[in-house]
Amino acid sequence: MAQQQSERSFLPHFIIKQMDGASMTEVFVAKEGEMANGDRRIISHEGVEVGVFFWEEKYYAYSNICLHQGGPACEGLLIHQVEDVLRPDRSFKQQKFSETDINFVCPWHGYEYDLKTGSVVADPARRLKPFPIHIRDGNVNVDIK
Ligand code: FES
């Protein structure tokens, strides 16, 4: 169930637009169709690191700085959410892997983040900063500012 694939990108980055007076850089991630399910890229631009995941036909991008102690949050294992299975009387029966929910795990101390929201699984009010993804001319790009 667990997968680990990480690739750092040192490809050129391009400032191609300005929004609301703030500089925003659209940074190349991959060619469309190049990333397989569960793949990720770590994009670095001017000191900002972003983890970009491809999961079930969608892209997700988050800050690569763990909310715990600043570890590389997006570079650990992908693992399906572990769920408790209860009996009808609500007593514990067993645990199983979720078929729909997937998390990535910070490799330093194991903080788990929901891949689809960037929220800390144990404290969903806290979440990694998300970054917008755009597909333009067959290229998958992330906006970094
Ligand atoms: S720095 Fe990520 S879990 Fe501690």
Is residue 38 situated within a structural domain? yes
> Are the C-beta atoms of 128 and 63 separated by less than 8 Å?
yes
Q: Which atom of ligand 1 is nearest to the CA of 106?
A: 2
Is residue 121 situated within a structural domain? yes
Q: Which atom of ligand 1 is nearest to the CA of 71?
A: 1
Q: CA 141, 133, 119 angle in degrees (round to 5)?
A: 135
Which phi and psi (to 5°) does residue 108 adopt? Answer: -75, -55
Residue 1 class from Cβ within 10 Å (0-12 exposed, 13-18 middle, 19+ buried)? exposed
Q: Are strands 13-19 and 22-31 parallel, antiparallel or unpaired?
A: antiparallel
pLDDT at residue 101, rounded to an integer? 92
Is residue 2 situated within a structural domain? no
Is residue 25 situated within a structural domain? yes
**Pocket lining: 76 vs ligand 1, CB cutoff 6 Å:** no
The domain that holds 49 is classified in CATH as 2.102.10.10
- Please give the chain's pLDDT, 145 residues, in tens: 444 444 555 454 554 445 455 667 899 999 999 999 999 999 999 899 999 999 999 999 999 999 999 999 999 999 999 999 999 999 999 999 998 899 999 999 999 999 999 999 999 999 999 999 999 999 999 999 7
Residue span of the structural domain in which 67 resides: 8-144
